[in-house]
Structure 1
Amino acid sequence: MKVFKTLTGVAFAALITTAAMADNHAIRMGTEGAYAPYNFINDAGEVDGFEREVGDELCKRAKLECTWVTNEWDSIIPNLVSGNYDTIIAGMSITAERDEVIDFTQEYFPPDPSTYVGLAGTSMDATKGTVAAQTGTIQAGHAAETAKAVVEFATPEEVTAAVRNGEVDAAIADDAFWQDVVKASNGELEFIGEPVMLGGGIGMGVRESDTELKEKMNAAIASMKADGTLTKMIAKWFDGRMVKY
């Protein structure tokens, strides 16, 4: 009985979302708000970062009114499926496992290397020791296969604190996330080991039933690639990184 009610609720939410989209009403953009420079909460308490700028431009081009919703990472996919918001735009890499549950637009950010960080002077062998990663990430999956042990944390801040406090030998996350963290550590943290390539780039997650929304966002992403807007935004938020589309 509970399963029937849940499925009915999801289907109903999908119908409401489709109708709202057709009428140019608000589409709720779900993000974590804790993974700079992709997304974070600024001093005014608002969602900010690369994905806020990209998302607002996508909504403008798709002629959709968008509002922003924050959600903890470990439940971000279930809450999309349940209808609590209509997209995930949260530094989420496209993977086959996730694609079995939700659908993805084309990537709006290319595959980013995953890198390891440790305390200054840490040996490269630390990447095979006890490694910290955020729960539900491709990095946590990789560490589970390659390290002696993986310790998962709910937030990026907790991952950083674990390696800083010596609770783990190393930590792994997207290279773009670590860049500012390492710079701000004043030499306390450093990159160790070799970068690894994981995932198929970062895309916007949508419910599998929301094909019209996916098509609208795909068209908007394609137009941002074609006119150079996306390239400029990536360079702005990622230290001049040049990506050509």
Structure 2
Amino acid sequence: MQKFILSTAVLALTAGAGLADTVRMGTEGQYPPYNFIDDNGEVAGFEREVGDKLCELAELECEWVTNEWDSIIPNLVAGNYDTIIAGMSITEEREEVIDFTQDYYPPTGSIYLAMDDGVDLEGGVVAAQAATIQASYVAETGATLLEFATPDETIAAVMNGEADAVFADKDFLLPYADEGELMVVGEEIPLGSGIGMGLRESDTELKEKFNAAIDEMKADGSLNTLLDKYFGEGTGTY
């Protein structure tokens, strides 16, 4: 799950407004299995299925839009879409600017991947996606932080020798380890407080509708079913 650290200050909208006819669901589309673009050019993945079900339960008409990660919060605040559903961890810093629903994915950890297990994680060069709490964590370890705009670029940096390791959410990185060219090194690091939907602070009615829908998915087991489907049996613990 992606962990975004605000790189610039943005002003939250203060004026309240009623629900729009169509709720625009903003995502990145580059972070499988959370969200990605399929062969038909459509948003797909865990969050597409969760989001569609939440809209159905909340009786909302929804459409999906994509936005680059580093501007995903400013463009929510600016009104370019109505929610963020993009593997975004709930953090105190983000809550200074936007609001969150309850979590729809429990807290998880981040890991390092490298070409070999002898890398220096605290003194070497570590790649991370820009504006994430993984990047912030790496900067505090003493390692040289190498930031990239997209998660795929962080993988490429390790593969081409530009970085010694990459640090990101384990659910994103583990498939690369399974392919055999990269390996998990070091320990799993717990970061974040679970993943929720981001909303403008003024959209209290929309937050209530989605919170009620998340409650329903947790109660009927459908959220656990999707968690197990995308992240492995036993992931769903609600």
TM-score, normalised relative to structure 1: 0.89
Which residue is 1:180 aligned to?
175
After superposition, residues 157-236 of structure 1 pair within 5 angstroms as 157-184=152-179, 187-236=180-229
CA shift at 1:112, angstroms? 1.4
Q: How has the CA–CA distance of structure 1 residues 7 and 100 changed in structure 2, closer, same or farther, with 3 Å as cutoff?
A: closer
**Deviating runs (4+, > 6 A) in structure 1?**
none
Relative to structure 2, which stretch is displaced further, 35-44 or 135-144?
A: 135-144
Any idea what SS the aligned residue of 2:121 has?
helix
Q: Which AA in structure 1 matches 2:87?
A: G
Between the aligned residues of both structures, percent identity stands at 60
Task: Say if 1:133 and 1:153, in contact at 8 Å, map to a contact too.
Answer: yes
Instruction: Kindly indicate whether the alpha-carbon contact (under 8 Å) linking 1:32 and 1:40 is maintained by their aligned counterparts in 2.
Output: yes
Aligned positions, number: 229
CA pair 100-7 structure 1, distance change in 2 beyond 3 A: closer
> Relative to 1, partners in 2 of residues 1:149 and 1:58: Cα closer, same or farther, differing over 3 Å?
same
1:47-80 deviations in whole A, cap 9, x for unaligned? Answer: 0000000000000001001000000000000000
Indicate the residue corresponding to 1:143 in structure 2.
Answer: 138
The Cα shift of 1:220 comes to 0.5
| Inter-CA distance 86–133: structure 2 relative to 1 (3 Å threshold) | same
**Gapped regions of structure 2 (runs ≥ 5):** 1-9
- Using a 3 Å threshold, how does the CA distance of structure 1 residues 19 and 219 change in structure 2: closer, same or farther? closer
Once the 2 structures are TM-superposed, how far is the Cα of residue 136 of structure 1 from its aligned partner? 1.1
Q: How does 1:86-105 map to 2 (within 5 A)?
A: 86-105=82-101
Q: Do the aligned partners of 1:127 and 1:170 also contact (CA within 8 Å) in 2?
A: no
RMSD after superposition: 1.7
| Cα distance in structure 1, aligned partners of 2:104 and 2:237 | 12
Gapped regions of structure 1 (runs ≥ 5): 1-5
CA, structure 1 residues 134+7, in 2 after alignment: closer, same or farther (shift >3 Å)?
closer
Larger Cα-atom Rg:
1
Q: 1:70 to 1:40 in 2, by over 3 A?
A: same
User: Which one of the candidate residues 74, 83, 89 is aligned to 2:70?
Assistant: 74
Q: Which has the higher contact order (CA 8 A, sep 6+)?
A: 2
**Counterpart of 2:151?**
156
1:124 to partner: Cα distance: 5.0
**How big is the shift at 1:148?**
2.1
| AA at the equivalent of 1:139 | Q
2:167 alignment partner AA: I
SS at match of 1:235: helix
SS, match of residue 145 in structure 2: strand
CA–CA separation in structure 2 for the residues paired with 1:196 and 1:128: 17
**Per-residue Cα deviation, 1:166-221 (whole angstroms, up to 9, x for no partner):** 1111110100001212223xx21010011100010000000000011011101100
SS for the counterpart of 1:163 is helix
Determine helix, strand or coil for the equivalent of 2:196.
Answer: strand
**What TM-score, normalized to structure 2?**
0.92
SS at match of 1:216: helix
